[in-house]
Homo-oligomer: A and B are copies of this chain.
Amino acid sequence: MRILFLGDVMGRTGRDAVVAALPGLRRDLKIDVAIVNAENASHGFGLAPDMADAIFAAGADAITLGNHSWDRKEIIPYIARQKRLIRPLNYPPGTPGEGAVDITLANGRRILIVQVMGRLFMDPMDCPFRATETILARARLGVTHAAILVDFHGEATSEKMAFAHAFDGAVSAVLGTHTHCPTADHQVLPGGTAYMSDVGMCGDYDSVIGMGKAPAIARFTRKMPGERLHPADGDATICGAVIETGPDGRAQRIEPLRTGGRLSQQIPSA
């Protein structure tokens, strides 16, 4: 199975690029299932229902969120009915939506998609390791599910790598999001889990993690409230990864994807 995962969609330029490119990427890269992190789609802060609809319509099988899940409040009733919109699993009980969702493909194969949030340099959520263990108690890779994919939304590379090794062999892939910066450490770990510390954002890379430069710089140099942050609006680079899994659900390959915009271009083999 071939899985496409795209990182944090940032503002209008990111949304437009992803919606325009997704059908072609699915076709050209022979994608079976496509997942998009869209926590920053709405002006950098959250996701509005119509934007989610547009990303689903363009070919996403699932959308993941992150620490910006609830920045647009309209997403709360939407997530109650749209089960393929996934928020971090390790929010407290009672949080709207779900953090682990089964997707059934046209050919009947089941895929489990999980998002967890890191805690190092972030808000103190429930333990992402234990939350994932609970889910995996009922999901066996290659047995109950053809693939299991985890979006680890976090800041610290140490926590991301520790998590991936902790579940190496139990899931098809651990793909990082949140730093808005694609890494080049993609690899299949010894146990068969594909890993990449961050798949990067879908947005304009002539920016500060997708935001316009001057106000973002001022946040570090001045200690006063400044101009509001707005997403940069230059051409987006679509950043993500393609994972190919085998019959046992383990990853055989992970290749980064970077297309459009300023970054070096990288197209996975089909």
Contacts and interface: CB of A to CB of B under 8 A. Distances in A.
A184 B264 contact: yes
A184 B256 contact: yes
A157 B181 contact: yes
A181 B197 contact: yes
Interface in A215-251: 216-217, 219-225
A92 B125 contact: no
A114 B43 CA distance: 35
- Highest count of chain B CB atoms <10 Å: which of A130, A182, A209: A209
Nearest to A211: B158
Band of interface residues on A: 35 or more
Contacts of A205: 185, 187
Given A180-B157, A205-B185, A127 B216 contact: no
The A interface, classified by DSSP as helix, strand, loop or mixed, is loop
A29 interface: no
Contact of A182 (B92, B163, B184, B213): B184
A85 B231 CA distance: 36
Contacts of A61: none
A217 B132 CA distance: 14
A166 B93 CA distance: 17
Contact of A92 (B93, B120, B130, B155): B130
Contact of A222 (B95, B155, B185, B224): B95
Interface of A: 69-71, 73, 91-96, 119-121, 123-127, 129-130, 155-159, 161-163, 165-166, 179-187, 189-190, 197-198, 200, 205-209, 213, 216-217, 219-225, 256, 258, 262-264, 266
15 contacts: A92-B130, A92-B222, A155-B156, A157-B179, A157-B180, A161-B208, A161-B209, A162-B208, A181-B183, A182-B185, A183-B198, A184-B266, A186-B263, A187-B264, A189-B206
